[in-house]
Amino acid sequence: MKQLLLIIVLLSIFETAKGQDNPNILLLIADDMGADVMPGYGIGNNLPSTPNLDALRESGVMFTNVWATPVCASTRATIMTGKYGINNGVPTVPGELSTDHTTIFSQLKEQTNNDYITCLVGKWHLGKNNDYDHPNEHGVDEYMGVLKSGVSDYYSWEKVENKQQETCNEYVTSYFTDYAINWINKQKQPWLMWLAHVTPHSPYQYPPEGTYSTNHTGSANMKKYLSMIENMDYEIGRLLENIPESVLENTVIIFVGDNGTPVNLVQGYSHGKGSLYEGGMHVPMLVSGKGVTLQNQFIDEQINVCDLFATMAHFSDESIGEKGGLYNSLSFKHLLSGEDGPVRKYNYMELGAKDGFPDDAYTIREAQYKMIQFLDTENTQELYDLKNDPYETNNLLSGTLTVDQQEKLKELETEANRIRTSWSCNDGILNGDEIAIDCGGDCGSCEVTNLPDFLHSEEFALFPNPFENHLTLNSFNGTSAVVIEVFNTSGKKIDQLEKSKTDSVIIKTEDYFPGIYLISVFHIESQTRKVYKLIKR
């Protein structure tokens, strides 16, 4: 009996310590709120009062150069998977996120041996409106919210709870907050709360009295819009006040917008939501709490919302920091404490064609210049100097480019092509498909046309390159076994062969789709690995 009690006590101590190692994560998402309507960014001049968000900024950091996708569904898919829309299958709205992807909910569980419990409250918008199991199929332990793009009435809306839909007649932002408070305060292990508000998305309606100020100016919709942001700030304050201090001390708090402000309400910018201009993508982001040692600091490094995936995962797995990130997601955890680490040299975003939105297009920027490439019949292209023209009023391609600008345009074109067709040598992520990082070589031009047609090392030779229906691997030391793994550009292993004591191996590739592949060859006796980048015609 005493031994049993001792075991129970030890297990209890272990579980407590285990939970303390991993912080809670509170992700707060605003719907249709760009940086222009957020105090602190200096863009708009008709701003809401946000004392609780201001307090988060003062106790943590505000990121000044964050890109979300131009529309809501693709931002949610990008955060959830750590992949650009071209890689997660949701480049615009509407979109349905396949369960083939590993979401942040599943990632946290897998890397911590199920230490985390997860909940998503609010807007889903990543599947069919009647697919009540879809959030749970993506690793969410508990879901309550709206599967649609929003609500038609903030005071009477269709909620999905316990995989059933029913009408709720409580103000939606308040209801979401109450649910989040109750769920958080029941947990005994590290948690992820993804709280996706539908506010301040249309329809524009005044919130409950006493939760917003009444001195706004502008159009009728602008007054309501600003009031809805103030109500959200009020509810965020109420949420934080109802979480025990001991729990908050071990909680990372992230607030982010999901896309730019609607064009009829945007301030400063000439374009808004649904566009690849800054008004459609530049969103507010604040981070405070556990692991954030900087206070009231502004961070100007380029951030993509997909970087939230790796950053959240990094808090409970330091190996992610050693690799830089996962998929297209570069961790910025080191920036929260002022430490050195990789940062984005380029930021990339795309928008797919859907009714009501522009044709397919993508954009890429570096520290100063930004290119927008429209994939229309005329292949329209635009170039802006964001350092001197942050509101994108002067398309440099309307005039004559300087030599430096011509070089920058070519650089942006080349990098965007790498991102869209294979992978980037410049993203700082050790994700299994980069010659510069994974194979210890130089990044060089990264142009696939410059690849040799015969790849070899002291141990192996692999040819032809490009290949069609087969590859041949010759081993210069045929007395030992090798393990051959084939990966696509998303890092997914599509083939594996194990051969022992052979001088030559034929890899059949008839079923491979045309594109770029990584072939990893592991020599068991010498414990050495070589990785080759090849092209299937």
Sketch the domain layout of the chain as residue ranges: 23-338, 451-536
Tens digit of pLDDT for each residue in 243-264?
A: 999 999 999 999 999 999 999 9
| Range with lowest mean pLDDT among 158-162, 304-308, 365-369 | 158-162
Position 379 scores a pLDDT of 76
**Architecture of the domain spanning 451-536:** Sandwich (2.60)
Position 489 scores a pLDDT of 58
* pLDDT band per the 50, 70, 90 thresholds, residue 508: confident
* pLDDT band per the 50, 70, 90 thresholds, residue 456: very low
Answer whether residue 354 shows pLDDT above 80. no
* pLDDT band per the 50, 70, 90 thresholds, residue 357: low
**Architecture of the domain spanning 23-338:** 3-Layer(aba) Sandwich (3.40)
* pLDDT band per the 50, 70, 90 thresholds, residue 360: confident
Alpha-carbon distance 256 to 29, whole Å?
Answer: 5
Alpha-carbon distance 348 to 363, whole Å?
Answer: 6
Alpha-carbon distance 237 to 468, whole Å?
Answer: 60
Tens digit of pLDDT for each residue in 13-72?
A: 334 334 457 999 999 999 999 999 999 999 999 999 999 999 999 999 999 999 999 998
* pLDDT band per the 50, 70, 90 thresholds, residue 329: very high
The residue assigned the tokens 């990372």 is 252
Name residue 182's amino acid: N
Which residues share a beta bridge with 528? 523
* pLDDT band per the 50, 70, 90 thresholds, residue 480: low
Widest distance between CA atoms in the chain: 86
Position 11 scores a pLDDT of 38
* pLDDT band per the 50, 70, 90 thresholds, residue 296: very high
Q: Write down the mean pLDDT value for the chain.
A: 86
CB neighbour burial string for 123-159, b if at least 16 within 10 angstroms, e if fewer? bbbbbebeebebbeebbbbbbbbbbbbbbeebeebeb
Q: Do residues 205 and 224 lie in contact, with contact meaning Cβ atoms separated by under 8 Å?
A: yes
Tens digit of pLDDT for each residue in 139-156?
A: 999 999 999 889 999 999
More confidently predicted of 354 and 118? 118
Cα-Cα-Cα-Cα dihedral sign, residues 432, 435, 436, 438 = positive
Position 319 scores a pLDDT of 85
Position 502 scores a pLDDT of 60
